[in-house]
Structure 1
């Protein structure tokens, strides 16, 4: 459904004295999502998760410079095609319920995403699917509970017949029952044939619903692995960062990783080499290529 190959994103900035600089924030990023699959994208803040979503949707700012390929259903995802598909075949479920218009009744907001047929009937049907009472449609967002507002966002995203769903941090701060319900809805969409990109900080949440997990670090993909590999002490994981991230969780070893993600100006070689205990000389100067290994992919010179 979606294939991202060697994606790089830079931003042109002007500093004091009108000095121009180009800041490369995403480098050689690769992901693939198939129909009927949930790909969870995890990583720390600043690792490029949301920028990838914006690149797919075609909503990057004007000072962005993009290279690489984004392919949707075998076709290059050009700006013209993005504009046609955005909100229709490609849809976003945003992180915050504040994306709902506070001055507009939620029924009308959902109807605005209907492309064909009777808008009111389509809205009633999708509300029924997500266990929303018919009277919910005449309410404003502030009159909804968190769970209801989340279901309205889902309804708005899928009512147009979307085939690729991008869910950007849909669960932080929600009650556990609402989190469970949200993940169940994502799983249902995938089981119905959609491709789902789930962006999250929470690996524990991701492994409960995702088929595969892509780990981002400092603007690139370091590993893509089946969710089942995230178990035990991480012995099935290949990249040192992925293992460290897994073992830093409270329910696992709760061992923090020392150091910090490098700034954009400091990145060279393997971006993780300054924090890696198994680095070799190649890691200091050469960016490793992503390669297939066992059931996944890894960007590491020394992974076996």
Structure 2
């Protein structure tokens, strides 16, 4: 497992604080009856400066919707509830507009995020506030392993790995304190994956707080300090990356343990059943229908999010 550097627990105020957060969409059914479709419920997460927190979950669990909520790019019929704070202040829609692209930035999954009609150097320079834009852009290119002449090329002239470096360089010079990386690694070959992981660590080393969204546990534990496990729109566990070892003895939630042991290098044990959508949640534990250790209380009551042995979990039996 990769050794972590410069990213220890902080006692300072969180850069990002998400507490008991829910996201609903108003929609109309038969007879124009209005109802709410809940896609994220009771989500909890904190990110400090210099810290990488991976949000791991299956497709459809609500990970990208969470990113959109933090970036303030949800449609008008979206309704947010709970706490969503940046540097201790509520992220109102007005504040999100002021921070997006400045203090809060996105590293998208797609390498097509760059403007195809603008040279890459100019694209990086557009987010630099200082006057010596070209010098700063060249310096950051050298830092991420790009030759200076790369700045005179258009995106179609770059390889996929070079494009990702340009996107990372843009985030590094943007001045943003909070970086949201939305599934930046699927389909990468081992060399490109290694590069991307190093970019994330460099951003954290420079004091950025990073939310690393992925469905890949193996990548998550290589890059992150903590891993927030997302299930049906809900945080079920936040564990330290080094808790993912052995047969998952240090993990707290049955779903997290099942995910870990389902990997080929572990027991390769499948998880029975399928993940429900958040709006299909019952009164009890969201994982209860698939859980091998559930009891009556799991069917009757929603477990609270609480601390257990250095991590946080939503389970009665942890």
CA contact (8 A) 2:39 2:279 kept: no
Q: Hey, what's the Cα distance between the residues in 1 that align with 2:195 and 2:285?
A: 39
Q: Would you say the 8 A contact 1:110–1:156 is kept in 2?
A: yes
Higher mean C-alpha deviation, range 290-299 or range 125-134: 125-134
Where structure 1 has 5 or more consecutive residues not aligned to the other structure, the ranges are none
Cα distance in 2 for partners of 1:137, 1:186 equals: 21
Match for 1:18 among 32, 39, 48?
32
SS at match of 1:207: helix
Matches within 5 A, 1:142-181: 142-181=156-195
Q: Does residue 1:284 correspond to 2:299, yes or no?
A: yes
State which of 77, 94, 98 in structure 2 corresponds to 1:63: 77
Indicate whether 1:245 and 2:259 are aligned: yes
Alignment length (residue pairs):
303
Specify the SS of the correspondent of 1:205.
Answer: helix
1:106 corresponds to 2:120: yes
- Out of 185, 192, 196, the position equivalent to 1:182 is 196
Structure 2 residue runs without a partner (length 5+)? 1-14
RMSD: 1.3
Between the aligned partners of 1:193 and 1:264, the Cα distance in structure 2 is 34
Correspondence 1:186-201 to 2 at 5 A = 186-201=200-215
Moved over 3 A (4+): none
Partner of 1:73: 87
SS at structure 1 position matched to 2:280: coil
Q: Give the structure-1-normalised TM-score.
A: 0.96
- 2:250 is the alignment partner of 1:236: yes
1:119 Cα deviation from its structure 2 partner: 2.5
Scaled by the length of structure 2, what TM-score is found? 0.92
User: Are residues 1:259 and 2:273 paired?
Assistant: yes
Aligned-residue offset at 1:265: 4.2
Q: Partner of 2:61 in structure 1?
A: 47
Counterpart for residue 226 of structure 1:
240
